Amino acid sequence: MTIFLAISIFLILLMVNMPISFAIGIGAVISGLTLWDVDNATIVQRMLAAINVFPLLAVIFFIFAGVLMARGGVSGRLVRLAEVIVGRIPGGMAHINILSSMFFGGVSGSAVADVSSIGAMLIPAMEKDGYSKPYATAVTLTSAIMGPIIPPSIAMIIFAHVAGSVSIAGLFLAGAIPGVLIGFGLMLVAFVHAKLYHHKVVPSISLKEKLKRVVDGMAGLTTIVIILGGITSGVFTATEAGAVAAFYALILTVGVYKTIKLRDLAGILYECCIINAVVLFLVATSSVFTWILTYENFPTMISDTLLAITENKYLILFMLNVLLLFLGMFIDQTPAIIMLVPIFLPLAQKLNIHLIHLGVIVVINLSFGLITPPVGTSLFVGCRIANLPVTAVVRPMLPFLPIMIAILFLVTYVPSIIMWLPTAFGFA
C-alpha cells in the first residue's frame, strides 16, 4: 500500500508539471509518514545520508569542469579539430558534428551541455552548408547522447552511488567502447545520407592551419587523458580525477586560452552551485523513494515476479531494455537511475549480471530517453536552439535510431565487448 501511495502521488504531481525532484520528494515523504513503525526523523536522515557521500564530490567537480570548458570556448576548438579529421569525408559537416560531440562528451559528460555548445555552432553552420535545419538538429541530438556514455559520465557516477559496490573507474572504462561505437554508427548513417543527397565535403585547409587546430584542440582533449590515465594507473580515484579535471579546466580556460576572466569565475561558480543543488536535491529526495521501495521489499517482489515468468536470462535482458527505453521517455535520466537501479539489483544478482554491465545497459537506455518525447531534455533544448517544433525533428532522427538500438543490444548480449577494458585494468 505504501509503495502504491508513493508512486501515485509522484505520477499525479508529474502530470501537473511539478519539478520531478519535488514530485519524488513529496510522494516519498507522505507515503513514508504512513509507516507507523518508522520514526519520522528517519526520512530526513535518509536524505542527508544520501548526499553526505564522498564519491558524489566527483559530480560537483565534473560539472564545474564541464561548465568551464563550455564557457571557455573549448567546444569551438574541438569542432575545428574534428574538421581536420573528418571534414573531407562526404557529408563532412555531419561527421564534424558527430565527432565534436564525441570529443565534447569526453569533456562535459552531459548531453544537454553537448547540445547547447555544439548545436549552437553547428546547426546554423550545417544549414548554411546546404543541410536542412531539421536534419542538422537530428544529427546534433543523436550524437549528443554520447555525452552520458563516454567517460567522464555523471550518470555513471550516480549509478555507482546507487548500486554501491561497483567501481566508477570500471564504469568509465566500460562506457568508452559503446560510446565510440555509437559515434561510428551515426557517422555511417550520415555517410549514406550524404551519398544519397549529394552533400559535399568541407573545403580543404592548409597544413599549417591543420597543425594549429590539432594542437589547439588536443589541449582540450587532454582532460579525458588525465581522467582515464590517472584512474587506470592508480594515481588517483574517480573523485580525485574530478578535482584534477576541474583544476586543469581552470588553468586551460583562464591561463592558457584566456577566454575566461577572473571576474567571470564568480558567475560560473554560481551557475555550478545551481546545477549541483538541483542534482543533489534530486539524489536526496529520490533516496527516500528508493528506501521506501526497499523497506517494503519491492525490488525482491519484482525480481521474483519476472523470474516466475521466465528464467531465461536473455529474455529478461530484452524485457529490461524495453522497460528502460519506455520509462526513459517519461522520467529524466538521473531520477530514473536512482529509482530503478535498486529494483534491478536483486535481479542482476540472481542472473549473475555484472554490475558494470548492468550500469552500461541502464545508462545507454536512459540516454536515449534524453532525445525522445515527451520528456526528452536534450530534445527540447535542441529544438529551442534550432527554433523548430519537436515534430519537425523526430522524422529525420528515425534513420539514426536503428543503429543506436543495434549497438545497445550488441552491448546487452555480448558483454565481453565492454567488460574487457575494466577487466584488463583490474576494475571488474
- Cis previous bond, 148, omega within 30: no
| Residue among 2, 67, 70, 63 at smallest CA distance from 38 | 2
Residue 66 phi, psi dihedral angles, 5° rounding? -65, -40
Is residue 230 situated within a structural domain? yes
Q: What is the pTM of this model?
A: 0.89
Is residue 38 situated within a structural domain? no
Q: Is the pLDDT of residue 275 over 90?
A: no
User: C-alpha grid cell for residue 314?
Assistant: 536473455
354: three-class secondary structure by DSSP: coil
**pLDDT tens readout for residues 293-352:** 777 777 778 778 888 888 888 999 999 999 999 888 888 888 889 888 888 888 888 889
Is residue 254 situated within a structural domain? yes
Give mean pLDDT, residues 218-236: 82
Is residue 328 situated within a structural domain? yes
Residue 416's pLDDT is what? 93
Task: Tell me if 427 sits within 8 A of 169, measured CB to CB.
Answer: yes
Q: pLDDT-based confidence at 220, cuts 50/70/90?
A: confident
419 to 178, 360, 404: CA distances (angstroms): 11, 10, 19
Length reported for the chain: 428
Helices (H), 41-167: 41-51, 57-71, 74-86, 92-108, 111-114, 120-128, 133-144, 154-163
Sign, CA torsion 163/164/165/169 = positive
In the numeric block, the cell 570556448 is attached to 73
Task: Tell me if 223 sits within 8 A of 245, measured CB to CB.
Answer: yes
Q: Is the pLDDT of residue 239 over 90?
A: no
Task: Tell me if 295 sits within 8 A of 339, measured CB to CB.
Answer: no
User: C-alpha grid cell for residue 395?
Assistant: 522524422
Q: pLDDT-based confidence at 108, cuts 50/70/90?
A: confident
Q: Is the pLDDT of residue 232 over 90?
A: no
Give 403's Cβ-side CA count (13 Å radius).
18
Q: How far apart are CA 315 and CA 1, in angstroms?
A: 30
Residue 360's pLDDT is what? 96
**pLDDT tens readout for residues 185-209:** 999 999 999 888 867 777 778 888 8
Considering only CA atoms, give the Rg of the chain. 22
Residue 1's pLDDT is what? 58
Q: Could you count the other beta carbons within 10 Å of the beta carbon of residue 385?
A: 18
Give mean pLDDT, residues 82-88: 88
Q: Could you count the other beta carbons within 10 Å of the beta carbon of residue 37?
A: 5
Sign, CA torsion 225/230/236/238 = positive
Q: Could you count the other beta carbons within 10 Å of the beta carbon of residue 319?
A: 14
Q: How far apart are CA 148 and CA 100, in angstroms?
A: 14
Is residue 32 situated within a structural domain? no
User: C-alpha grid cell for residue 381?
Assistant: 533544448
Of residues 77 and 187, more confidently modeled: 187
How many domains does the chain contain in total? 1
Is residue 118 situated within a structural domain? yes
Q: How far apart are CA 157 and CA 173, in angstroms?
A: 12
Angle between helices 120-128 and 377-386 (to 10 degrees): 50
Could you tell me the residue range of the domain that residue 285 belongs to? 50-424
Give mean pLDDT, residues 227-255: 86
Maximum Cα–Cα distance across the chain: 74
Most confident of 45-59, 81-95, 351-365: 351-365
Residue 414's pLDDT is what? 94
Residue 403's pLDDT is what? 93
Give mean pLDDT, residues 47-54: 83
Distance of CA 227 to the CA centre of its chain: 17
Q: Which of 50-64, 132-146, 257-271 has the lowest mean pLDDT?
A: 50-64
Burial (Cβ within 10 Å: 0-12, 13-18, ≥19) of residue 344:
buried
| Residue among 110, 119, 112, 132 at smallest CA distance from 65 | 110
Residue 142's pLDDT is what? 94
Give mean pLDDT, residues 380-388: 90
Degrees, nearest 5: CA angle 284-290-292? 110
In the numeric block, the cell 520509462 is attached to 327
Percentage of residues in the chain with pLDDT exceeding 70?
99
Is residue 31 situated within a structural domain? no
Task: Tell me if 299 sits within 8 A of 293, measured CB to CB.
Answer: yes
In the numeric block, the cell 561505437 is attached to 181
Is residue 89 situated within a structural domain? yes
